[in-house]
Amino acid sequence: MSKVPKRNRRVVYLAATACVGVLAVVLLVTGFGGGGGNGVTYVDGNSNAVLYGAGHRAAAPDFSGTTLSGTPLRFSAYRGKVVVVNFWGSWCPPCRSEASTLAVVAQQYQSVSFLGVDVRDTVVSAEAFDRTHGISYPSVSDPDDTITLDFSSVVPIASTPTTVVIDKTGHIAGAVFGQTTYPELTAILSDVTRTSA
Amino acid sequence: MTELRTPPVDQDGFPAEAASEQSRPAPATAHGAGDWLRWAWRQLTSMRIALILLFLLALGSIPGSMLPQEGVDPGGVAQYYKSHPSLAPFLNHLGLFNVFAAPWFAAIYLLLFTSLVGCVVPRTFRLAGSARARPPRAPRHLNKLPQSAEYSTALAPEPALEVASRVLAGHGFRLRQEGDWISSEKGYLREAGNLLFHLALLGVLISVALGGLFGYKADRLLVEKGTFANTTSDLDVFRPGRLVTGTGLPPFTITLDKFNASYISSGPQQGQPAAFDAHVTYTAHPGGPSRTFDIQVNHPLNIDGANVYLIGHGYAPVFRVTDARGHVVYDQATAFLNGSAANLLSQGVIKATDAQPEQLGFSGVFVPTAIDVSGTLASIFPAPDRPMVSLIAYVGDLGMNSGISQSIYQLDTTRMHQLTASPQLLQPGQTLHLPGGRGSITFVGVQQWASLAITHDPGQVPALICGMAALAGLLLSFLVRRRRVFVRVRGSVVQVGGLARTDASGGFEAEFASLAAELKSAHQRESSQQDTETE
């Protein structure tokens, strides 16, 4: 092993430093990429269920559509009420699993409106689903995922199901990403109905 | 002996601290740590190791093309498990079904990346220094250089050097004048080209990293008349880069209006595809104008920096299922997948998840142009000339209520029982009535589906630009020669010497000769002018 000339050694150190620098930048970017903050509180110690603090609530997009029974629906008609918007499909196993929870919570919170957005589905399958699970609140058909697209610009909807809670002023106050559980949904609702009362 | 006792003296001539001398590690341990690291770094950044790593990378990607890969062909992997039950788990353990995500593959390309960066960065600094360097001092004996000339002039040394430097500067030489000589050099573009090549090489590496960090790939199967939105929840497969969260995807929607496939209908290539066209309507953002496009193989649609490629197609037979209570519980086109079977014979499943009182499931085979080959259904042509489905009906629990996701192309029949003893054949319009009044299924008709791949690679354009810059740099460094010309004036004697720094110096003799002639005539002209002025 010969002695490395001084000049070369400096170059080696320089290159090594450059590499470490690049690595540090990459780690920094990745580290802060998924950072929390922004007035978000996690409900039930679970990052799938979140509450957005006052001043951190994005306005829910307005949309219109046709319900499974064929009547036209405009979302702006819900203004002034707390609304639970559930994105679901009859084809999606977690949606089938959470359906009974949603039915129970809808019964319990009579002051809260529930609205389904039925994605990538057909009307006959969706109606059969509602019959099976005893869902009585309406759903809008969204076979093309256009309503989902409108929402995903303000809520990070990654997959179906996703449940979004909208406060009386039409702002998104909370969300459950993935299958909803009773404690998660009721925790969000009790906060939103209390603060917006 | 006394010399040994003198205290050690460091570079500046000051006695070194005894304490620091003691704390310095013994030579053996120094070799163990720092030198070994330095040695490893030098090995890693050597050309030899870079080439070996490049070879390993190529070698490592061979199983990626020989074996089915999870990301691309999950069905193929399952098939491989079935046909090689003992070998498959072993291969899976080695990551051979997902080569490009395997740790050992990552190790190779990360080492290669480090090796290239470690090689290119120091070279870049050296080349930058060399491109800025001043010409060297003139050698003592110019007549010993490969090219040399000598003549006498009537001019005094000072004005003679001045004339020479004017001539050389006029030819674009970089000059250095000291005492009785001028040293000049030309062809720095060679070093600039070399520098450009190395920087562009780094640029290519960074571009590839950009693509890996900020790019994404997604797949979506779309039945005719169907629409999808480019949002993660609506994509079948979504493979984001390291720093892609999936919330900022371009919000376009695409509708598959019609899919056309044409096949060669006669001759030895009968049944081979002739053309595929996916006629789509798209909007770049919600509420934006709709445009139409014809996506073909290798003719992608570009929306907002994302390319949409046509990567597959198949049939989606339309079924209508009625349950025991008379409710229509399923009415839709159902994508069937063509494995490796000839002439688009495809398989699929129908899940009537909300049939009452029990769930219904069907596993089916779709045949576009059916014939009966001694009791088995076969397809003789890929176009839907004589479409037929063969169905097996099941009743029971589809296993979808527990919330666990399952493939829409597979039926879990562990908690179901078969209703029909043998597969039942249906033509379009025909209905199969299930035994025991459990309902019915109608084969309504056939649609086609197209599979689209959406890719966004922000490194693609930078990589192309860097690639072209690398080529330009390489050409410059090959075509431009670095050469030096020296002039020394001693008394009335002018000596000119020259050499080309690179081996491929053909043509330098001629250049030197004309330059020397020009210098001589310039000196003559100048001295004759002086003569006329003095007269």
Structure confidence at residue B14 (pLDDT): 36
Above 90 in pLDDT, residue B368? Answer: yes
- Whole domain around residue B431: which residue ranges? 216-456
Question: Which of B390, B421, B456 is where one domain is finished?
Answer: B456
Helix axes of B36-44 and B103-132: crossing angle, nearest 10 degrees: 90
User: In the predicted model, what is the mean pLDDT of residues B272-284?
Assistant: 93
Structure confidence at residue B16 (pLDDT): 38
Give chain B's radius of gyration (CA, Å).
Answer: 39
Structure confidence at residue B15 (pLDDT): 39
Contact residues for B231 (Cβ-Cβ < 8 A; gap 6+): A145, A148, A149, A152, A157, B249, B251
B143 and B112, same structural domain?
A: no
**Residue in B closest to A181 by C-alpha:** B403
Q: B355 and A9: CB-CB below 8 Å?
A: no
Closest by Cβ to B329, choosing from A29, A124, A153:
A124
B335 and B246, same structural domain?
A: yes
Residues from chain A contacting residue B42 (CB–CB below 8 Å):
4, 12
Structure confidence at residue B117 (pLDDT): 82
Structure confidence at residue A186 (pLDDT): 94
A89-105 pLDDT, tens digit each: 999 999 999 999 999 99
Number of H helices, E strands in chain B: 13, 23
The three-point CA angle B50-B52-B54 to 5° equals 70
Above 60 in pLDDT, residue B12? Answer: no
**B305 located within any domain:** yes
B494 and B389, same structural domain?
A: no
Q: B253 and A146: CB-CB below 8 Å?
A: yes
Residues from chain A contacting residue B231 (CB–CB below 8 Å):
145, 148-149, 152, 157
B390 and B249, same structural domain?
A: yes
Closest by Cβ to A179, choosing from B234, B286, B403:
B403
Residues from chain B contacting residue A131 (CB–CB below 8 Å):
327, 354, 356
Q: A152 and B228: CB-CB below 8 Å?
A: no
Q: B354 and A131: CB-CB below 8 Å?
A: yes
ipTM exceeding 0.85, yes/no: no
Provide the residue ranges of all domains of chain A, joining segments of one domain with +: 1-35, 40-195
**B402 located within any domain:** yes
Domain A40-195 has CATH 3.40.30.10: yes
**B13 located within any domain:** no
Above 50 in pLDDT, residue B367? Answer: yes
The burial class, CB within 10 Å (0-12 / 13-18 / 19+), for B185 is: buried
Q: B118 and A19: CB-CB below 8 Å?
A: yes
B144 and B71, same structural domain?
A: no
Residues from chain A contacting residue B323 (CB–CB below 8 Å):
128
**B157 located within any domain:** yes
| Chain B interface test: which of A95, A159, A180 (most B C-beta within 10 Å) | A159
Question: Which of B59, B94, B128 is where one domain is finished?
Answer: B128
For residue B379, the surrounding DSSP H or E stretch is strand B376-379
Of the two residues B272 and B349, the one the predictor is more confident about is B349
Percentage of chain A beyond pLDDT 90 is 66
Residues from chain B contacting residue A15 (CB–CB below 8 Å):
45, 117-118, 121-122
Q: A93 and B121: CB-CB below 8 Å?
A: no
B515 and B372, same structural domain?
A: no
Residue carrying the six token digits 């702006």:
A76
B142 and B50, same structural domain?
A: no
B291 and B166, same structural domain?
A: no
Return the top range by mean pLDDT from A4-13, A98-107, B502-511. A98-107
Percentage of chain B beyond pLDDT 70 is 92
**Residue in A closest to B404 by C-alpha:** A93
Helix axes of B189-214 and B460-479: crossing angle, nearest 10 degrees: 160
Q: What is the pTM of this model?
A: 0.72
Above 80 in pLDDT, residue B473? Answer: yes
User: In the predicted model, what is the mean pLDDT of residues B391-403?
Assistant: 91
Residues from chain A contacting residue B245 (CB–CB below 8 Å):
33-34, 156
Closest by Cβ to B114, choosing from A19, A131, A179:
A19
| Amino acid residing at A135 | I
B166 and B123, same structural domain?
A: no
B170-227 pLDDT, tens digit each: 998 999 999 899 999 988 888 888 888 888 888 887 888 888 788 898 999 999 999 9
**Residue in A closest to B409 by C-alpha:** A91
The number of domains in chain B is 3
Peptide bond into B251 cis (omega under 30): no
Structure confidence at residue B313 (pLDDT): 93
Closest by Cβ to B329, choosing from A97, A128, A143:
A128
B284-293 pLDDT, tens digit each: 988 899 999 9
**B7 located within any domain:** no
| Amino acid residing at B489 | V
Asked whether the beta carbons of B382 and B363 are under 8 A apart, the reply is no
What would the two tokens of residue B131 be? Answer: 């491109």
